[in-house]
Each structure stands twice: as structure tokens, then as C-alpha cells.
Amino acid sequence: MKSNTKVLLAVYGLSITRNTDTQITSDFGNSIDLLKLFYEFADHVLKNEKKWPRANERTSVLTCTNLPKIDDDEREVYGYFKAGRNGEAFTAGILDNENSEYIDYDNETHLMREAFYYLYVPTRQKRAYLILQRSQSRGIKDLVRHFFVEFMALKGLHNYRLNFKNLISDKVFIHMMEHGHFKDVTVVKNKVPLNVDEVHDKRGKAVMGEGTVKVIYQAPDLSSSWKEWALDTMRNKKMNMLDGDPRVKIHLGGEDDLVNEVSFRIELRKKYKTFHLVNKKRTQPDMDVTESVDVGPDGRLLIKDMVKQCRELVNDVNLKLNGEDDDAEEDEDDVEGEEDEA
């Protein structure tokens, strides 16, 4: 049985630096292995519920209910965090025809949700891979980052900096396009023609009104030229930014056109991703793996499916198809980074 809600897995590159020197993640700070350190962190969170005071008298919480699983041979550790926050009253209901029961909770109660995590730490490399399940704005990445930095300080690693990298880059887009399936392209214009006839008017300049028009071109209606156009556009960025205008000029359908956004949705091995061309910051670091993960009798996602998807994601961001043994790529110039110091 498949999940009724989307299963989104976000993939980040982790690195450890001291001053300007990037460390080996499997051996830094007097023989510290990030794999073992993260296992200790998850165990610490299990035994010590972590609370983070936020704005408006709210508190975010990170905990977990079981020990993490660690595999030294595969160099991976994984399990489930529970993340939540208070600040909003809600009602929980147990529906049973005439015997339904409803329980009211005030705004001091924390609404908690599970979030799967997976860490892969290859030996003798400067990058590790952290994958987190994103769920309805629980802010799981910020929670894990905040409390892991705090844990590093607790272990005496004050002089080391933890770096997060979004690994869903243009290179991943090209890799998915070349080896996967182009599902659709969405073009957004924040101006609507005043007359429906002007949508197809190629003879003169149409008078535009206010509003937004969103056009989605879907497979199998898309010819091969669409895929070629998408690859060419992403590789060469053949669009012109206009001073003082949020729109860009792209070459579409044989003509130059001004648009506010162009996005591409691609599928590779039942994983789906939307890439934004104009507003690149809108491209999130997650993949939709809903179709590849089953739900068990207890209503939880099958952990073996989640681990399989995480392993594939590590290969995907390293532009691999079958998990080759060659070293992971260290290209980091094309992705945005975030840093926290322990």
C-alpha cells in the first residue's frame, strides 16, 4: 500500500571544516568518525528530549522513539526522528460511528510527526550525505542542524564547523533528463491577454492586462524537441534578464517570449523532481519518492524501502546510475551552502 501523503526526501552534503581546512568526515578531530558521532547524537536525542525556544513563545522539539540502526560495512546510520512544535490548539478524533471520541489540546501541546533520517559517510572523503524526510513544515533540517552543532560543542568540538550543501544542482537536472523521463514543463506569465484571441495572436503586440497565466505542457504531448530545448536552456541559460523587470526572455516555439517562470518536472526510477529555471532558489533539495515506498500494516513507511531510496539518491546526486564504486564528485561551486559553527 502506498502512502496517502507525499514522501519527500531532501539530500544534503555534509562537510566539516576547521579554519579553512576541510576535514575527512570519517576521520577528523583526533580520529572522530562522523558516522559514529551521528549515531551517538541520535542516541543522545533519544535519551534527552531537545527543546528549542522560538519566536512568539513557541518551542520546537526534537526526539526519537528507537535507537538508530548503524551498518559499519555499508557506512550508514538511519532511523526516525520525531519533530514538532506547539503554539496552535487542535483536536484529535477517534472516529467509530456512534462511539467517536474527540480530544481537545491547547496551544501548549506539541504536535509531533516522524521524520526518517539517513546518513552515509564514505571512508576517506570530505563529504558525507544526510537525507531527511520533509514533512509539513516541521523544520526538520534546522532542528537537526541546530542540535547536532550543540552536540558537537558538548563533545568538545568547538573549533569545527558543520557545513550543509544542497546537492540538487543543475548537474542533477541534466543527469535526470538524460537518463529519466521528461514529464512536463510549466510556463508562468504574470500578465494575461485582455482578449482570448490574443493568446494565439502572432501578428502584433498584444495588450496585456493584470493577472497570471500558467500553461503546463505535458508528456506524452511533448515532442523530443522539448527535451532538447530544456537541456539546452539549462546548460547554456539562454535567457535574458531585463533591468527592473522580473521577467526573462526565452526562445519558445520559434519566438522570443517574456515569462516570469519556467519549471521542468522529471522522473528517474519513480523519483520525481521539479526544477525552476528563473527563480532557482525555489528548487527545493528534496525528491518525491512516494511511488517507490510502501506503507506497512502499522501505517508506517517501510524502512527497507526508505533505505533503498536513500542509497539511490546518493547515487543520483553523484550522477551515477548503478552505484559504481568510484569516488563521489566534489563539485560544490554550483550549489548554495549553509554553515554552522559548533
297-338 per-position pLDDT tens digit: 988 899 999 999 999 999 999 887 654 444 444 444 333 444
> In the chain, which ranges are continuous DSSP H helix?
34-47, 140-154, 170-179, 224-236, 303-317
Say which residue the cell 527497507 belongs to.
304
Query: Residue 3 — very low, low, confident or very high, per pLDDT cuts 50/70/90?
Result: confident
- Higher pLDDT residue, 78 or 275? 78
Classify the phi-psi angles of 253: left when phi > 0, otherwise alpha if psi is within -120 to 50, otherwise beta: left
Report the run of H or E that residue 276 belongs to, with start and end. Answer: strand 271-276
**Does one domain contain both 14 and 139?**
yes
Residues 261 and 119 occupy one common structural domain: no
Question: Residue 160 gets which letter from DSSP?
Answer: -
Give the pLDDT score at 191: 63
Q: Tell me how many degrees the CA angle 109-112-118 measures, rounded to the nearest 5.
A: 155
How buried is 213 (Cβ within 10 angstroms: 0-12 exposed, 13-18 middle, 19+ buried)?
Answer: middle
Residue 3 lies in a domain: no
Instruction: Answer left, alpha or beta for residue 167, where phi above 0 means left and psi between -120 and 50 means alpha.
Output: alpha
Burial of residue 276, with CB atoms counted within 10 A of its CB: 0-12 exposed, 13-18 middle, 19 or more buried:
middle
pLDDT score, position 333: 35
- The residues, any chain, with a CB within 8 Å of residue 75's CB and separated by 6 or more, are 26, 35, 120, 121, 122, 123
Of 264, 281, 298, the last residue of a domain is: 281
Contact between 131 and 11 (Cβ < 8 Å): yes
Range of the domain at 103: 8-167+285-341
pTM score of the predicted model: 0.81
C-alpha cell at 289: 519518492
Same domain, 38 and 91: yes
Q: Is residue 69 part of a domain?
A: yes
Closest CA to 287 of 184, 167, 155: 167
- Count up the domains in the chain and report the number: 2
Residues 29 and 90 in one domain: yes
Pairing of β 76-85 and β 69-71:
antiparallel
State whether 141 and 63 are in the same domain. Answer: yes
Q: Is the pLDDT of residue 200 over 80?
A: no
Does 63 share its domain with 140?
Answer: yes
Rounded CA-CA distance 296/306 in Å is: 12
Residues 246, 148: one domain?
Answer: no
- The predicted pLDDT at position 335 comes to 36
Together in a domain, 88 and 33? yes
Q: How far is CA 240 from the centre of its chain?
A: 28
- State whether 93 and 225 are in the same domain: no
Considering the domain architecture, whether residues 133 and 221 belong to the same structural domain is answered as no
Q: Are strands 181-189 and 261-268 parallel, antiparallel or unpaired?
A: antiparallel
| Lookup: cell for 36 | 559514529
State how far the Cα of 91 lies from the Cα of 98, in Å rounded to an integer. Answer: 18
Average of per-residue pLDDT across 80-107: 78
Q: Are residues 103 and 204 in the same domain?
A: no
Is pLDDT larger for residue 319 or for residue 42? 42
